Amino acid sequence: MSVKSIIIDTIKANELHSFTLDELRKLYTAQGVTDTSVNINKGLYKNIWNLKKSGMLDLVKAKDPKQNVYVITPLMQKQYLQISEESHTSSMHSGTMVFLESLNKRLNAYSSELATTSSEIQEYQEVLNEFPEQSAQFNRDYQSAKERAYQLRGRLRAVENIMNRLNR
């Protein structure tokens, strides 16, 4: 059985609408595939890339490529997953739901990271206020945390704007 067939069977069996490469890899290896991990990774990535290139998958990119989400397209549903024409319209709705789900995951991740970074900034401020003579040593870390917080706020704002526009 080809890697592509195993990927499609895995998607079918697990009723996946979206997945990360790592999630698919775990499901794939759970099927008892005994190839070396390097070959599994290479084969999965190559076949996922080909499926994406042929319009079977869409890619929702994340800042960390390991968090990229692959979304099943209506074309793949129709061609490989044998979805009937009448459910094709509901699959398009499903695609929107998957997109919103992906955005919601991003929103939660950015919110969590922003909360952590804000606490980090607050701690730097407290330490620097208490020990101003140490400011030269920790100022770079403090500034870096502030910069990360600004970037995260921007990412949050972008995701919120996208979600608001979709809900109009």
Domain boundaries, the chain: 3-83, 105-166
The residue length of the chain stands at 168
* Dist. CA 126–CA 60, nearest whole Å: 39
Q: What is the pLDDT of residue 95?
A: 66
The predicted-structure confidence for 77-110, as pLDDT tens digits, reads as follows: 887 776 444 444 454 456 677 787 788 888 888 8
Q: 3-class DSSP state for residue 106?
A: helix
Cβ proximity of 79 and 88 under 8 Å: no
Q: What is the pLDDT of residue 33?
A: 58
pLDDT, average across residues 105-129: 90
Structure-model confidence comparison of residues 75 and 94, the more confident one: 75
The predicted-structure confidence for 11-60, as pLDDT tens digits, reads as follows: 887 777 888 888 888 887 776 655 555 566 777 888 888 888 888 888 88
Q: What is the pLDDT of residue 85?
A: 43
Burial class (CB in 10 A: 0-12, 13-18, 19+), 148: middle
Q: State pTM to two decimals.
A: 0.47
Counting Cα atoms < 13 Å in the Cβ hemisphere of 118 gives 8
Mean pLDDT of the residues in the chain = 80
Q: What is the pLDDT of residue 145?
A: 94
* Dist. CA 148–CA 144, nearest whole Å: 6
Instruction: Tell whether domain 3-83 is in CATH 1.10.10.10.
Output: yes
DSSP 19: E
Reference 60, options 106, 110, 12; nearest CA is: 106
pLDDT, average across residues 129-156: 92
